[in-house]
Amino acid sequence: MPRAFYLILAVQFLSTLADNAFLIVAIARIVELSGPAWLIPLLKISFTLFYVILAPFVGPLADALPKGRVMVVANFLKVCAMVLLLSGVSPIVAIGVAGLGAAIYAPAKYGLITELLPARDLVRANGFFESTTVCAVILGTVLGGVLVSPVMPQLGSTFALHMDAMASTTLVAGMLVLLTMNFIAMLLSLGVLDSGARYAPHSFHPAELVRGFVSGNSLLWRDPQGGMSMAVTTLLWGVGATLQLIVLRWANEVLGLPLAQAAYLQGVTALGVVVGAVCASRMVSLKNAERLLPMGILLGLLVLNLLWIESPVTAAIMLVVVGGIAGFFVVPMNALLQHRGCTLLTAGRSVAVQGFNENGGMLLMLAIYAGAIGLQLPLFSLIVGFAMFIALGMTVIWIFWRRAEQSSIKRRICNIH
């Protein structure tokens, strides 16, 4: 792997670490302000919204400029988000600004990987990247738990005295830690060199960008492998983002764990994802990725086990298994989608299309979850509903893929004859 790849990994690790800790701190801030429960999924919606709104624009932007410079701007926006939170701005607004930076950042980081590496190395690179990302998720959720726990030293108490808006919060020290992390990520981004890849000039007129994005989105969905992998990742991203919040609620209501300890339990799931991602990077190639589709059905059925678990130890073991299957399954699908996207479109545009669909799925599922909370649906119903949604959704994708594969075989036979 080239040296630039490892620097991107470092920036990705630090940025993802801060993002996941930010979510826990933002949830704690809403609880501290005695906000209603339906505001918590709105945090994820606010963070994700710009991925969808700006999807037609961030891809061409990442292709038009050196991607390292785009990463600098994105991490600067995350620094601004933490400053806003420290200033007493609503956590919904602050995390939205961080989401803006993340939306700009995504096509640049993933586009650089496809530019730096040949197709044969993409699964291995994605294994590294997903393992690094999930390690950051694990440590980020753990860090978030530490930053909102009573044992957190009041490092920011002096700072808070000079800020009337924040004088009533106990989270200043945690916010300062996150501000520092995002600032370091911004500095590291300055060292990311230009890959040298250049693309044909593209109009930045909004109408042209939207038309080009719609065309690219349609092209990737019509591609058999691209459409299949897009459907899988869109489904799992949407349900996974919601399950993240459901696990926090389940750990609190069923296991009696406070937010800080529930965050640690959530990080255990990510530990399994790391193991699965590493195994996938060594055992699965792009041409065999579609054979893993039945694992998605198993993943949904395993989530139902939450209904019968009452011990934190048993819960941790089960969540590691769920995470391991998810990592082994998603990494090859993501690599296949990146490969087809880069082949059919440009690196930046393909990642923007991928982000639009995956984060659109997240917005839809989070909106459904927020509505369910507003209707006061019991936790039992939510777990069953989302588990069956995963299993049935993956079954439908598998059936469609098998039919498409059989049709392709028949066409090849007819062409031979």
Reading the chain (417 residues) residue by residue, the pLDDT tens digits are 666 677 888 888 898 889 889 988 898 888 888 878 778 888 888 888 888 888 777 777 766 677 778 888 889 999 999 999 888 888 999 999 999 998 888 777 766 777 666 666 666 776 677 677 767 877 887 888 888 877 665 554 545 445 554 446 677 888 888 999 999 988 888 877 665 555 555 656 677 777 877 888 888 888 877 788 888 888 877 777 787 788 888 888 888 887 777 777 766 776 777 777 667 767 666 566 667 777 778 878 888 887 888 888 888 888 888 878 877 777 777 777 777 777 777 666 777 788 788 888 888 888 888 888 878 888 888 888 888 888 888 888 888 777 766 666 566 566 555
Q: Could you tell me the CA-to-CA distances from 71 to 3, 31, 182, 183 in Å, in that order?
A: 17, 32, 12, 12
Residues 126 and 137: their CA atoms lie apart, in Å, by 16
Question: In the block, which residue shows the tokens 């459904």?
Answer: 368
- Cβ contacts of 2 within 8 Å, gap of 6 or more: 116, 117
Phi/psi for 202 (5° steps) reads: -135, 135
pLDDT at 82: 92
Residues 81 and 100: their CA atoms lie apart, in Å, by 9
Tokens of 207: 């109408």
Burial, 66: exposed, middle or buried (Cβ in 10 Å; 0-12, 13-18, 19+)?
A: middle
Nearest to 351 by CA among 158, 127, 108: 108
Residues 115 and 152: their CA atoms lie apart, in Å, by 42
Reported as a single tens digit per residue, the pLDDT across 355-374 is: 788 888 888 888 888 888 87
Burial, 154: exposed, middle or buried (Cβ in 10 Å; 0-12, 13-18, 19+)?
A: exposed
CB 342, CB 114: distance < 8 Å = yes
CB 131, CB 13: distance < 8 Å = no
Tokens of 20: 């996941």
Nearest to 45 by CA among 18, 70, 26, 58: 26
Q: 248: how many CB neighbours lie within 10 A of its CB?
A: 21
Query: Angle between the 55-64 and 206-222 helix axes, to the nearest 10 degrees?
Result: 100
Question: In the block, which residue shows the tokens 């993956």?
Answer: 394
pLDDT at 152: 63
pLDDT at 204: 61
Tell me the longest C-alpha to C-alpha distance in the chain: 82
pLDDT at 92: 92
Nearest-10 Cα torsion for 314, 316, 322, 327: -160
Question: In the block, which residue shows the tokens 């059989």?
Answer: 406
What domains lie within the chain, and their CATH numbers? 3-191+207-416 (1.20.1250.20)
pLDDT at 241: 75
Nearest to 350 by CA among 62, 16, 53: 62
Q: Could you tell me the CA-to-CA distances from 170 to 68, 94, 114, 142, 218 in Å, in that order?
A: 36, 17, 43, 18, 48
Indicate the pTM of the whole model. 0.69
CB 177, CB 17: distance < 8 Å = no
Residues 392 and 386: their CA atoms lie apart, in Å, by 10
